[in-house]
Amino acid sequence: MIKIFWRILTRDLLLAMRRRTDVLTTLFFFVIVVSLFPLGVGTERQVLRILGPGVVWVAALLASMLALERLFAADYEDGTLEQMLLTAQPLPLLVLAKVVAHWLLTGLPLVLIAPLIGMQYHLSEAAIGVMMLALLLGTPVLSLIGAIGAALTLGLRGGGILLSLLILPLYIPVLVYGAGAVEVSAVEVADTQPYLMLLSAFLLSTLVLAPLAASAALRISIE
């Protein structure tokens, strides 16, 4: 099963590298949103420190949604998805491999660029470290939950709008606790451990349940 997981993962990464524009769009969108926001609210350091965590997380949430509609669409159109359903390998494992590939292409770059964004919002080194850790824990949850919505809306006309309506309410807890962890570390008024522990709990639970739910949704969509 590990070999199959690795093959699906590397296949999706290689296909994504052939469409570099789609990959770079997510990163550019994130950078543009967080860079334009200070121009609208001003450059006062204290204001940016307060608003920065929320802006970064909202931008990360929206950026991760850009590629969700294409998570299963290409395989669905060329028949590869049907072949995956017919294989003897467990479908949740194959779904998890595709979700990991999605996160490596859309979530991990946001984590790596977080220090530059933190400097733009005048965050301290401790706050930047917490931001990177929170994004590292939270962005996989966004991909896992998004996979369920992508599977449910697969093949539907106007699926992108319906996908947003389905998963945005489910993203709210991750948004609240992710931004809260960075905000608390920025103003140094409380411990960030509860926020990070909750994000870890979200990650573990979605890591187990989301592939199963997405697999069931894919079977329904194919049928």
* Domain locations along the chain: 2-222
What does the pLDDT look like over 3-16, one tens digit per residue?
A: 888 888 888 888 88
**pTM for this model (two decimals):** 0.88
The per-residue pLDDT for 188 is 65
How many CA within 13 A on the CB side of residue 170? Answer: 18
Q: Which residue has the tokens 């919505």?
A: 149
pLDDT in tens, 76-120: 777 777 887 777 788 888 889 999 998 998 889 889 988 888 888
Question: What are φ and ψ of residue 217, in 5° steps?
Answer: -65, -35
Find where tokens 């969700």 sit.
Answer: 68
Which candidate, 14, 21, 111, places its Cα nearest to that of 67?
21
The per-residue pLDDT for range 169-214, each reduced to its tens digit, is 899 999 999 988 888 887 665 678 889 999 999 999 999 999 999 9
